[in-house]
Amino acid sequence: MKLDITNQIRNNQIYMDYYQELKQLEKDRIYCKHDFDHFLDVARITVLLASKNNIDMDEDIIYAAALLHDMGRIAEYKDGTPHHIASCDIAKEVLEYIACDDEKKEVIISLIRCHRNPENPPGSLQFFFRNADKISRKCYACDVIDKCNWPDEKKNLDIKM
């Protein structure tokens, strides 16, 4: 399956500038990074969870949202803006240059906005996207888990699906 929206985002210069800035800000980060591996893990897990639960979805929208969902970390690192809010602003900026209808753009923004919301309706695409973001973290294989400030109940100490 070709991911047209996703690849337009990936090839967009504004997006790549943000991505490079995020990489630079996290270059010395010893904990989980917000990089393409993480973004693609979130997308793939979301697709698996949604498919397993017979949720109708457009995989291109999920992958597009995954590429954009943590870009707001830049603002969070710089001025403390919650990253899910700043990520929506960045997504809106990038999506202006993407051939994608407004309805799809709204779904992408919704997934980004809700990826930190623990009260997403169970069974919704937003619910699965948030869970995929959490499940994607490989705490069970982390070399610096003993230095991590996450409480144990938030860590993925077992492989999950």
For 52-88, the pLDDT digits (tens) are 999 989 999 999 999 999 999 999 999 999 999 999 9
How much is the average pLDDT of 90-112?
96
Cβ within 8 Å of residue 11, ≥6 positions away: none
* Rounded distance between C-alpha atoms, residue 102 and residue 13, angstroms: 21
Give the domain extent around 136.
Answer: 4-154
Establish if 124 belongs to a structural domain.
yes
CATH classification at residue 105: 1.10.3210.10
Q: How confident is the model at residue 112 (pLDDT cuts 50, 70, 90)?
A: very high
Establish if 94 belongs to a structural domain.
yes
Specify the residue for token string 């070399």. 143
Cβ within 8 Å of residue 143, ≥6 positions away: none
* Rounded distance between C-alpha atoms, residue 160 and residue 16, angstroms: 31
Establish if 116 belongs to a structural domain.
yes
Q: If DSSP codes are grouped into helix, strand and coil, which group holds residue 149? A: coil
Establish if 161 belongs to a structural domain.
no
Establish if 55 belongs to a structural domain.
yes
For 34-156, where are the alpha helices, taking DSSP H only?
36-52, 59-68, 73-79, 83-95, 102-114, 125-135
What per-residue confidence (pLDDT) applies to 92?
Answer: 97
Establish if 159 belongs to a structural domain.
no
Angle at 70 between CA 121 and CA 125, to 5 degrees: 25
Q: What is the pLDDT of residues 11-48, one digit of tens each?
A: 999 999 999 999 999 999 888 899 999 999 999 999 99
* Rounded distance between C-alpha atoms, residue 11 and residue 102, angstroms: 20
- If one counts the domains in the chain, the total is 1
What per-residue confidence (pLDDT) applies to 41?
Answer: 96
What per-residue confidence (pLDDT) applies to 139?
Answer: 75
Establish if 160 belongs to a structural domain.
no
Q: How many residues are there in the chain?
A: 161
Establish if 76 belongs to a structural domain.
yes
- Written as one letter, the residue type at 141 is A
